[in-house]
């Protein structure tokens, strides 16, 4: 909310500058977002009275003007505008003034005549108005005062972020002034207790009011004023409202707004003649709307009301959406003579839901939805009537106040030991009580217990902890000395899951992968592009946009987008992401699985070549990762989908595999190239190999024990075998035949070269065989005979041709 420094100063009697106030409030009360100096650009611009107008001797389009700028000082200036006449009050920029439009005023010589300043047009001052003429000010303003003062702009605006739980009292100048005074060890200069329900001298009964829903409307106070002269507001009032961000409408509306800014209670005024009357009497009630009722509000829009909306209504029509905005038909205009002034209290939740339902937010609803003290209504009414009588000349003829369940002050007990236990700082009981007293909270002492009487405008104070906060913040949090916590030494549990994920990330980063973070959602379209559209996704009810409506079931669509974008800058990519995916299940909450996806783009285009660098690199990376994570044994199986909820279509059907554990056959993830159609959908032209692993499963199986294997004592013998095999023969078949034939003495086999003869549908493979025995050095003879055995088996069973 925007606060006027002058207004705060008047009520709080502070001597602090606006910036000092800002610091004071920030440290003890509220965040001050901004301090704006009004009229700062009008230094050396004063009000002048025109004493004499003469023609310029040498120029037809210029005049010589003599102005009185107070204290018997007179200036002669050259002026090019002709809308001025003798006696006018006008803004005069004196020599040295620097105007908002950048102009700096100097003594000049215009066609032989000295000009000692300038009369200003609105634009030159940064104001709106006719640019061709000089700004003519109100005649009552005395010459010589600064223009800022004349226009009510010699003020500073403090934009203060009032905390949500202080809307009760601090969305008002009195509320913030009370804070300031309390912080400066004073009470405010404002007759708060003197504001009591006004009493008409002569009573009439023009209006009869009723509350139909006491829960939604705990109090309805109103006053009727006759013979009101609706007119534009006096300058000071219009200016103060404008400075605080409100438009000036007319004197009646402006007074209601002014009172709201002063004490925080919104008010509304109705034109009595526009309301439906029965036998000369108007019946007003606060009730729930019925379905089908409509109202045109002050913003000239028509709203369909619901039965949850609280409205103010006469016997025929709704006349206001309670606490939010008044009706168009009954608004106060220049023709209005008799008004109803309403100051009511409404239920916060009801106001909030109504304004959300109708998408309306007003200064009134802002306050009501934070819950207001019902005792405020009569104070607001008193203040508004007092001002209206002065400004618009009205006559009070009726006051009604329906207040079925009066709210009384309540008590909170705070033990001084508890105060110290919470703050950690010892505050003398006397100091604590003084602080509360300054906040207009009266206290008594019962032993070590402070019993506090909470004024009803401090609805936020309900518990001893609330009082701890009041005392603590006014005392000053800066006075609290930091102190290490003395706690029993406990052995903390480590978060195994996070440590495991960290290890996985470190291995991958060490193997050349860079880590990406993607959003947890994607669009239905993205899911479709990745052929995941058939999977039941969790959907957001209110996404920011349709691109972010589905919660991800896989990290893959995100990674594919990363690949597409990064291929604009890089030819080869190694990326990974770990994160949660969300699967619907029988529980209220979905299953959140911690997943890992790694991606490799080796720069392979689609085409004739049969090599699969990306795939095999990915497979090697998975092997490396699983080995480093201490998994026992795993293998790659042809992927056979088991239900509709799988990713079968996402993968390249000829180049994908399921990663399984050897002992249990349990699947821990997938490896493969992405289906070329999916890649095309994402606009990727290179082959992409991915692996997707379930991190929780990985962790479960990575907890195997490690055991040392003794180093070999006897030398190993290596032999290479090169062979031509048919294109369909799998490496696994060859390996298992070799292992069976070689027995225990064949320690290891590595495929280290492969070459494809595409036309013949054959491939050449070279294996590296390692022989050895634990107890002796193998003789050449033994090795040769084992090798011969292996070759024979391969030739017989697979028809390979071994090159010799």
Partner 1 sequence: MLEQEIFNIKTEALKNISHSSSIEDLKFWRVQYLGRKSRLNEILKGLKDFSLEKRQKIGPLANTIKKEIADFWEQKNRELERSIDWEKEKIDITAPGKKVSGGHLHILTQVQNEIEDIFIAMGFEIADGPEVEKEYYNFNALNIPPHHPARDSQDTFWLKSDENKGTDKILLRTHTSAAQVRYMEKNFPPFRIIVPGRIFRREATDATHEHTFHQFEALVVGDDVNMRHFKHLAEEFFSRFFGKKIKIRLRPSYFPFVEPGFEFDISCTVCGGIGCAACKKTGWLEVGGAGMVNQEVFRAAGYLPRQYQGFAWGFGIERLAMMKYKIDDVRLFHSGDLRFIRQF
Residues 373-432 that bind partner 1 (CB under 8 A): 418, 421-425
Judged by beta carbon, residue 34 or residue 114, the one nearer partner 1 is 34
Cα–Cα nearest to 763, from 749, 773, 751: 751
User: Pairing mode, if any, of strands 573-583 and 514-515?
Assistant: parallel
Per rule CB under 8 A, is residue 359 in the interface with partner 1? no
- Interface with partner 1 (CB under 8 A), residue total 92
* Choices 71-79, 218-226, 267-275, 588-596 (CB under 8 A): range interacting with partner 1: 588-596
* Choices 332-340, 404-412, 559-567, 724-732 (CB under 8 A): range interacting with partner 1: 559-567
- Among residues 7, 220, 303, 513, which is the contact residue for partner 1, using CB under 8 A? 513
Cα–Cα nearest to 283, from 350, 379, 211: 211
C-alpha to C-alpha distance for 2 and 173, rounded to whole angstroms: 10
Q: State the minimum distance, in angstroms, from the CB of residue 580 to partner 1.
A: 6
C-alpha to C-alpha distance for 510 and 43, rounded to whole angstroms: 65
- Among residues 488, 607, 715, 728, which is the contact residue for partner 1, using CB under 8 A? 488
Looking at the DSSP bridge assignments, the partners of residue 764 are 724, 755
Q: State the minimum distance, in angstroms, from the CB of residue 585 to partner 1.
A: 10
Q: DSSP readout, 103-148?
A: -B---EEETTEEE-EEE--GGGGT--S-TTSPPPBPTTSPTTSBHH
* Choices 63-71, 575-583, 623-631, 722-730 (CB under 8 A): range interacting with partner 1: 575-583
C-alpha to C-alpha distance for 219 and 381, rounded to whole angstroms: 13
Q: Are 690 and 559 in contact (CB under 8 A)?
A: yes
C-alpha to C-alpha distance for 540 and 537, rounded to whole angstroms: 10
* Choices 125-133, 267-275, 448-456, 556-564 (CB under 8 A): range interacting with partner 1: 556-564
C-alpha to C-alpha distance for 463 and 478, rounded to whole angstroms: 23
C-alpha to C-alpha distance for 182 and 161, rounded to whole angstroms: 19
Per rule CB under 8 A, is residue 588 in the interface with partner 1? yes
- Among residues 193, 446, 492, 711, which is the contact residue for partner 1, using CB under 8 A? 492
Q: State the minimum distance, in angstroms, from the CB of residue 469 to partner 1.
A: 3
Window 26 to 45, contacts with partner 1 (CB under 8 A)? 26-31
- Among residues 175, 472, 557, 672, which is the contact residue for partner 1, using CB under 8 A? 472
Window 714 to 743, contacts with partner 1 (CB under 8 A)? none
Per rule CB under 8 A, is residue 780 in the interface with partner 1? no
- Among residues 89, 168, 370, 619, which is the contact residue for partner 1, using CB under 8 A? 370
Q: State the minimum distance, in angstroms, from the CB of residue 505 to partner 1.
A: 6
- Among residues 60, 541, 638, 705, which is the contact residue for partner 1, using CB under 8 A? 541
Cα–Cα nearest to 595, from 729, 696, 456: 696
User: Which residue intervals of 94-234 are DSSP H helices?
Assistant: 147-150, 173-183
CA distances from 29 to 9, 185, 469, 621 (A): 17, 14, 11, 58
Per rule CB under 8 A, is residue 165 in the interface with partner 1? yes
* Choices 2-10, 199-207, 477-485, 644-652 (CB under 8 A): range interacting with partner 1: 477-485
Window 589 to 618, contacts with partner 1 (CB under 8 A)? 589-590, 592
Q: State the minimum distance, in angstroms, from the CB of residue 157 to partner 1.
A: 18
C-alpha to C-alpha distance for 314 and 35, rounded to whole angstroms: 44
Per rule CB under 8 A, is residue 109 in the interface with partner 1? no
* Choices 255-263, 315-323, 450-458, 557-565 (CB under 8 A): range interacting with partner 1: 557-565
Judged by beta carbon, residue 519 or residue 677, the one nearer partner 1 is 519
Per rule CB under 8 A, is residue 520 in the interface with partner 1? yes
* Choices 248-256, 571-579, 689-697, 766-774 (CB under 8 A): range interacting with partner 1: 571-579
C-alpha to C-alpha distance for 445 and 443, rounded to whole angstroms: 7
DSSP state of 546: G
Instruction: Tell me which long-range contacts 696-700 makes (C-beta under 8 A, separation of at least 24).
Output: 696/497, 696/593, 696/594, 697/666, 697/668, 697/669, 698/500, 698/504, 698/596, 698/626, 698/629, 698/631, 698/668, 698/669, 699/496, 699/497, 699/500
> How far, in whole angstroms, is CA 166 from its chain's centroid?
20
Q: Is the dihedral of CA 226, 229, 230, 232 positive or negative?
A: negative
Q: State the minimum distance, in angstroms, from the CB of residue 705 to partner 1.
A: 25
Per rule CB under 8 A, is residue 514 in the interface with partner 1? yes
Judged by beta carbon, residue 30 or residue 346, the one nearer partner 1 is 30
C-alpha to C-alpha distance for 720 and 737, rounded to whole angstroms: 16
Per rule CB under 8 A, is residue 558 in the interface with partner 1? yes
Q: State the minimum distance, in angstroms, from the CB of residue 184 to partner 1.
A: 17
Helix, strand, or coil (residue 194): coil
Q: State the minimum distance, in angstroms, from the CB of residue 517 to partner 1.
A: 5
Residue with tokens 């409205």: 311
Per rule CB under 8 A, is residue 369 in the interface with partner 1? yes
Per rule CB under 8 A, is residue 219 in the interface with partner 1? no
Window 442 to 471, contacts with partner 1 (CB under 8 A)? 463, 465-466, 468-469
Per rule CB under 8 A, is residue 481 in the interface with partner 1? yes
Per rule CB under 8 A, is residue 497 in the interface with partner 1? yes
- Among residues 582, 651, 670, 701, which is the contact residue for partner 1, using CB under 8 A? 582
Looking at the DSSP bridge assignments, the partners of residue 522 are 550
Per rule CB under 8 A, is residue 353 in the interface with partner 1? yes
C-alpha to C-alpha distance for 731 and 344, rounded to whole angstroms: 86
Per rule CB under 8 A, is residue 751 in the interface with partner 1? no
C-alpha to C-alpha distance for 196 and 383, rounded to whole angstroms: 9
Residue with tokens 């300043």: 117
Per rule CB under 8 A, is residue 498 in the interface with partner 1? yes
**Which string of x and - marks every residue 678-717 that binds partner 1 (by CB under 8 A)?**
----------------------------------------
Q: Which tokens sit at 507?
A: 């291995």
- Among residues 229, 480, 610, 740, which is the contact residue for partner 1, using CB under 8 A? 480
Per rule CB under 8 A, is residue 755 in the interface with partner 1? no
Sequence-distant (6+) residues with CB within 8 A of 445 are 429, 433, 451
Per rule CB under 8 A, is residue 623 in the interface with partner 1? no
Judged by beta carbon, residue 505 or residue 719, the one nearer partner 1 is 505
Window 228 to 267, contacts with partner 1 (CB under 8 A)? none
- Among residues 129, 131, 512, 603, which is the contact residue for partner 1, using CB under 8 A? 512
Per rule CB under 8 A, is residue 62 in the interface with partner 1? no
The total of other beta-carbon atoms located within 10 Å of residue 86's CB is 11
The total of other beta-carbon atoms located within 10 Å of residue 488's CB is 4
Q: Are 243 and 257 in contact (CB under 8 A)?
A: no
* Choices 265-273, 429-437, 523-531, 572-580 (CB under 8 A): range interacting with partner 1: 572-580
Q: Are 288 and 353 in contact (CB under 8 A)?
A: no
Per rule CB under 8 A, is residue 302 in the interface with partner 1? no
Judged by beta carbon, residue 442 or residue 473, the one nearer partner 1 is 473
- Among residues 202, 483, 664, 780, which is the contact residue for partner 1, using CB under 8 A? 483
- Among residues 477, 606, 752, 755, which is the contact residue for partner 1, using CB under 8 A? 477
Q: Are 652 and 675 in contact (CB under 8 A)?
A: yes
Q: Are 207 and 401 in contact (CB under 8 A)?
A: no
Q: State the minimum distance, in angstroms, from the CB of residue 520 to partner 1.
A: 7
- Among residues 101, 506, 630, 777, which is the contact residue for partner 1, using CB under 8 A? 506
Cα–Cα nearest to 740, from 784, 779, 664, 797: 797
Per rule CB under 8 A, is residue 138 in the interface with partner 1? no
Sequence-distant (6+) residues with CB within 8 A of 209 are 220, 222, 283, 284, 285, 286, 400, 402
Per rule CB under 8 A, is residue 565 in the interface with partner 1? yes
Sequence-distant (6+) residues with CB within 8 A of 135 are 90, 91, 120, 121, 122, 125, 127, 129
């Amino acid at each position: 909310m925007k606060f006027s420094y002058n207004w705060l100063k008047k009520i709080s009697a502070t001597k602090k500058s606006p910036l000092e106030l800002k610091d004071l409030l920030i440290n003890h009360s509220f965040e001050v977002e901004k301090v704006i100096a009004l009229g700062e650009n009008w230094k050396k611009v004063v009000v002048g009275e025109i004493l004499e107008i003469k023609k310029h001797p040498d120029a037809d389009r210029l005049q010589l003007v003599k102005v009185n700028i107070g204290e018997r000082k007179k200036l002669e200036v050259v002026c090019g505008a002709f809308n001025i006449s003798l006696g006018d009050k006008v803004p005069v920029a004196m020599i040295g003034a620097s105007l908002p439009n950048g102009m700096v005023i100097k003594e000049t010589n215009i066609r032989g005549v000295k000009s000692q300043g300038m009369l200003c047009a609105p634009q030159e001052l940064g104001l709106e108005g006719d640019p061709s003429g000089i700004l003519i000010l109100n005649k009552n303003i005395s010459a010589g005062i600064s223009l800022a003062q004349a226009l009510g702009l010699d003020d500073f605006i403090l934009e203060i972020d009032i905390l949500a739980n202080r809307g009760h009292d601090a969305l008002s100048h009195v509320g913030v002034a009370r804070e300031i005074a309390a912080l400066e060890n004073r009470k405010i200069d404002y007759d708060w207790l003197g504001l009591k329900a006004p009493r008409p001298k002569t009573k009439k009964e023009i209006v009869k009011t009723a509350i139909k829903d006491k829960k939604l409307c705990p109090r309805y106070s109103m006053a009727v004023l006759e013979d009101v002269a609706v007119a534009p507001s006096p300058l000071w009032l219009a200016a103060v409202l404008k400075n605080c961000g409100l438009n000036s409408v007319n004197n009646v509306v402006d007074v209601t707004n002014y009172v709201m800014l002063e004490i925080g209670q919104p008010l509304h005024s109705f034109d009595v003649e526009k309301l439906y009357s029965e036998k000369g009497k108007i019946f007003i009630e606060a009730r729930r709307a019925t379905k089908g009722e409509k109202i045109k509000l002050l913003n000239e829009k028509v709203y369909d009301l619901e039965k949850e909306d609280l409205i103010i209504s006469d016997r025929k029509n709704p006349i206001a959406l309670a606490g939010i905005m008044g009706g168009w038909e009954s608004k106060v205009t220049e023709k209005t003579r008799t008004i109803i002034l309403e100051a009511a209290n409404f239920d916060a939740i009801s106001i909030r839901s109504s304004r959300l339902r109708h998408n309306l937010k007003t200064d009134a609803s802002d306050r009501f939805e934070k819950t207001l003290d019902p005792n405020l209504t009569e104070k607001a009414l008193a203040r508004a009537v007092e001002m209206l009588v002065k400004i618009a000349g009205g006559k009070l003829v009726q006051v009604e106040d329906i207040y079925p369940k009066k709210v009384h002050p309540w008590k909170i007990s705070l033990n001084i030991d508890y105060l110290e236990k919470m703050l950690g700082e010892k505050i003398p009981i006397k100091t604590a009580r003084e602080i509360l007293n300054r906040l207009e909270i009266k206290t008594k002492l019962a032993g070590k217990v402070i019993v506090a009487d909470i004024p009803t405008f401090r609805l936020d104070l309900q518990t001893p902890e609330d009082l701890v906060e009041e005392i603590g913040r006014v005392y000053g949090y800066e006075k609290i000395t930091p102190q290490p916590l003395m706690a029993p030494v406990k052995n903390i549990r480590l978060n195994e899951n996070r440590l495991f994920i960290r290890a996985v990330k470190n291995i991958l980063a060490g193997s050349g992968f860079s880590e990406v973070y993607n959003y947890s959602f994607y669009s239905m379209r993205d899911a479709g592009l990745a052929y995941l559209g058939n999977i039941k996704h969790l959907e957001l009810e209110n996404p920011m946009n349709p691109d972010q409506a589905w919660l991800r079931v896989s990290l893959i669509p995100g990674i594919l987008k990363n690949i597409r974008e990064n291929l604009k800058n890089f030819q080869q990519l190694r990326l990974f992401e770990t994160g949660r995916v969300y699967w619907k299940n029988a529980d209220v909450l979905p299953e959140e699985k911690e997943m890992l996806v790694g991606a490799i783009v080796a720069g392979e285009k689609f085409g004739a070549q049969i090599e699969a660098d990306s795939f095999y690199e990915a497979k090697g990376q998975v092997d490396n990762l699983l080995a480093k994570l201490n998994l026992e044994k795993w293998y790659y199986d042809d992927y056979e989908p088991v239900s509709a909820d799988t990713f079968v279509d996402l993968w390249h059907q000829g180049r994908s595999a399921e990663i399984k554990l050897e002992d249990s056959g349990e699947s821990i993830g997938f490896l493969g190239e992405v289906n070329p159609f999916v890649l095309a959908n994402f606009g990727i032209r290179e082959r992409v190999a991915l692996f997707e692993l379930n991190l929780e499963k990985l962790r479960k199986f990575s907890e195997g024990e490690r055991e040392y294997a003794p180093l070999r004592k006897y030398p190993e013998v290596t032999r290479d075998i090169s062979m031509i095999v048919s294109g369909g023969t799998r490496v696994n078949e060859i390996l298992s035949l070799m292992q069976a034939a070689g027995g225990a003495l064949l320690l290891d086999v590595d495929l280290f070269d492969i070459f494809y003869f595409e036309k013949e549908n054959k491939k050449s493979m070279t294996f590296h065989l390692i022989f050895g025995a634990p107890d002796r050095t193998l003789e050449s003879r033994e090795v040769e005979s084992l090798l011969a055995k292996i070759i024979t088996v391969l030739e017989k069973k697979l028809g390979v041709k071994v090159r010799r």
